[in-house]
A and B are shown apart, each in its own frame.
Chain A
Amino acid sequence: MLRLIGTRALLGVATLFAVSVLIFVCTQILPGDVASAVLGNQATPEALAVFRKELGLDQPATVRYFNWFLGAIQGDLGKALTNGRVIIDEIKPRFYNTMFLAGYSALIAVPLSVGLGIIAAIREGRMIDRMSNVLTLMTISVPEFFIGYVLIILFAVNLPWFPSLATVYDEMPISERFYVATLPALTLTMLVAAHMLRMTRTSVLSIMSSPYIEMAFLKGLPRSRVVVRHALPNAAAPIITVIALNLAYLVVGVVVVEAVFTYPGVGQYMVDAVSKRDVPVVQACGLLFAGVFVGLNTLADIAAILVNPRLRHKR
């Protein structure tokens, strides 16, 4: 069991490494290189050579990769091409903002959707299940920005309860942060909760059709005990996977929601860099998002191992 967890953790590290290679390769396959892309067609060969040297592009790709990757794990992500600022300084406060928003949403979304998902599964085919089916189907069908704008119209324009722009600054008190980030957090919550609810329902249902559940009913146990004692312990592993998958989705969904509410997070920073084709910044943000994603998945797998009775009690 410990070995299993160790293996999984190692696999996570290996994945992260492979991901960094993939990101690096993707930024190198461009015909020509970053220097010519930035300076454009009119640049003189001399200017290009100088700029290349400045960027370290005269070195072979493997050397550049290791310089970049080793720098990245020590917190040195290089400088932005467009304005020459140190990337790590720019990213830090934004990363905090993004994680704040994602965490805020998760705090609402996880208990809400897992709870409702279990209820929907237990009451399969009843009114509450059908209603949640239609509602969640609607929610996962609409784009993030649609939910965002509808919330703005309802709760910022028609009822002026919350600001439509989620501007935060460093010295902002925490209570105010929560207040300002409410609409973006609600948008994310609706988005992720719908997915999570449906997936929770499916995994609980698949457990509810197993023979040992039938056996529990035939022992004369009340429904509540069958669910709590016999279904949920076995549903834990799939539900954990569902939560992790959706938390990862949350971190990504943040990109669009940040744009709707012009919330100063990593997503906005990355989108900005993409439209300016500022490759080092794009690389850095990509690595950061991928890292969070891989980390969450690894944690989820380890948690799923921990709650699996077959693995917890060896043969």
Chain B
Amino acid sequence: MLIFGHKPTISAWIGLAIIALNLGVALFGPLIAPYSESQSVGGTWEAMSPSMLLGTDQIGRDMLTRLIYGARMTIGIALVTTCISFFIGITLGFTAAVLGSWVDMALSRLVDIVLSIPLLIFALIILGVFGSSIPVLILTIAVLDSTRVFRLARALGMNLAVLEFVEAAKLRGEGTWWLISREILPNAAAPLFSEFGLRFCFNFLFVAALSFLGLGVQPPYADWGGMVRENAAAINFGLLAPIWPAVAISMLTVGVNLVVDWLLSIDARPSGAQAEL
């Protein structure tokens, strides 16, 4: 089977399978979950058993059920965030690249300043002012993350905008929208797609980290980062409760990274380091 006209490597297949599994669980969660989201089925941190495959959490809910419901929330937020971030970043980045002059100057300087504050710190400041709710969380991360997308989109756009086929379209008299959508975007699609994977991972981990700090998704919603926090105390008894949601998070990001790594390696040419022998 070919994807993007190339045959995936074994590691890429593993990645694709992991992504498919996670998306499946996120979409059909309630259908496959053994219990309901907040149903108490046992005592605190019960061990693994055939009826509760991963044991129970700090207030006796089934860990597997919580994980399945958490998939929807955690993956959903990261996905929505990344989509908004890309929409803002690509639009502004390409506009800056095509129009140049003061539009580019103003946007680039603003982004430079935002980028000179670490992302997490900036997010903490905004959450500190607005308080944490899901819309604030999504918008904050999306806007902050879009600065990274802007940088990439602008660089790609700049490189493409000086190419002669874009100049030819300009000479023909085509408008900015045509230049962006027909001449630049199709040629920037491949690197942007890889970047989408990387940014998704980043946002996904970011949401998880904020939830872990108690500043992300608030209870009673199940969310993987929050589940780690709620079950953190178990670690001192040598129990694995906080590890399960952390494993779930890691698995998805490893999966996405494996696919992105493969995508990036398609175009990579061997460097000079192996020559001579």
Task: Answer whether A and B touch in the complex at a CB cut-off of 8 Å.
Answer: yes
- Chain A residues with a Cβ under 8 A of chain B: 15, 18-19, 22-23, 26-27, 29-30, 121-122, 124-125, 133-134, 137-138, 140-146, 149-150, 152-153, 157-158, 164, 204-206, 208-210, 213-214, 217, 223, 248-249, 251-252, 255-256, 259-260, 270-271, 273-275, 277-279, 282-283, 285-286, 289-290, 293-294, 297
The 19 sampled A-B contact pairs (Cβ below 8 Å) are A18-B113, A18-B116, A26-B129, A30-B130, A124-B270, A137-B261, A143-B205, A143-B208, A143-B225, A143-B253, A146-B246, A146-B249, A149-B243, A153-B240, A158-B238, A217-B275, A255-B120, A274-B127, A294-B116
CB-contacts of B98-130 with A (<8 A): 112-114, 116-122, 124-130
Residue in B125, B225, B273 whose Cβ sees the most chain A Cβ within 10 Å: B273
A277–B253 touching, CB < 8 Å:
no
Would you call B125 and A152 a contact (CB within 8 A)?
A: no
Is B124 in contact with A150, judged by CB distance below 8 angstroms?
no
Q: Which residues of B contact A259 (CB under 8 A)?
A: 212-213
Determine whether B219 belongs to the interface, using a CB cutoff of 8 Å to chain A: no
A124 touches B274 (CB 8 A): yes
Which residues of chain B in 240-277 are interfacial with respect to chain A, using CB atoms and an 8 Å cutoff? 240, 242-243, 246-247, 249-250, 253-254, 256-258, 261, 270-276
A158 to B213, CA, bound (A): 26
8 Å CB contact of B213 from A125, A206, A271: A271
- 17 new A-B contacts, CB < 8 A, other than A134-B11, A286-B117, are A15-B112, A124-B270, A125-B270, A142-B250, A143-B253, A145-B228, A153-B243, A158-B238, A204-B273, A209-B273, A210-B272, A255-B121, A277-B129, A282-B125, A289-B117, A289-B118, A293-B117
In the complex with contacts A143-B246, A248-B118, A271-B214, A152-B129 CB distance below 8 A: no
The reply to whether B271 and A282 contact each other, CB–CB distance below 8 Å, is no
Asked if residues B116 and A15 are in contact (CB atoms below 8 Å), the reply is yes
Q: Roughly how many angstroms separate A150 CA and B250 CA in the complex, as a whole number?
A: 12
Report Cα–Cα, A158/B239, bound state, in Å.
Answer: 11
**B120 near A252: Cβ-Cβ < 8 Å:** yes
Question: Top 7 closest A-B pairs, CB basis?
Answer: A282-B128, A146-B246, A142-B250, A274-B128, A141-B253, A209-B271, A208-B273
Known: A149-B246, A210-B272. A19 touches B116 (CB 8 A): yes
What separation, in Å, do the CA atoms of A251 and B119 have in the docked complex?
12
Main SS of the interface on chain A?
A: helix
B118: chain A residues within 8 A (beta carbon): 248-249, 251-252, 289-290, 293
Minimal Cβ-Cβ distance residue in A for B118: A252
Question: Are B235 and A153 in contact (CB-based, < 8 A)?
Answer: yes
- Asked if B217 is at the interface of the complex by the 8 Å CB criterion, the answer is no
Asked if B222 CB lies within 8 Å of chain A CBs, one says no
Contact bitstring B1-30, A, C-beta under 8 A = 1, else 0: 000000000010000000000000000000
What is the chain B residue whose CB lies nearest that of A137?
B257
Smallest CB gap from B268: residue in A:
A205
Query: CA separation between A62 and B201, bound complex, in Å?
Result: 39
- If A157-B236, A208-B272, A278-B128 touch, does A293 touch B122 (CB 8 Å cutoff)? no
CB of B242 within 8 A of CB of A23, answer no
Q: Does B131 contact A (CB under 8 A)?
A: yes
Say whether, besides A150-B243, A209-B272, A15 and B113 are in contact (CB < 8 Å).
yes
| B124 in contact with A271 (CB, 8 Å) | yes
Nearest CB to that of A290 among chain B residues?
B117
Q: Bound complex: CA of A260 vs CA of B229, how far in Å?
A: 9
Name the interface residues of B160-217: CB closer than 8 Å to any CB of A. 201, 205, 208-209, 212-215
Q: A138-B254, A252-B118 are in contact. Are A279 and B128 (CB under 8 A)?
A: yes
Given the complex of chains A and B, what is the CA–CA distance between A140 and B120 in angstroms? Answer: 16
Using A146-B249, A157-B235, A158-B238 as known contacts, say yes or no to A30 and B129 having CB atoms under 8 A apart: yes
Q: Which residues of B contact A144 (CB under 8 A)?
A: 209
Bound Cα distance from A5 to B159, whole angstroms = 28
**Most chain-B CB neighbours within 10 Å: which of A138, A251, A286?**
A286
- Within the complex, which residue of B117, B129, B213 is in contact with A279, where a contact is CB–CB below 8 Å? B129
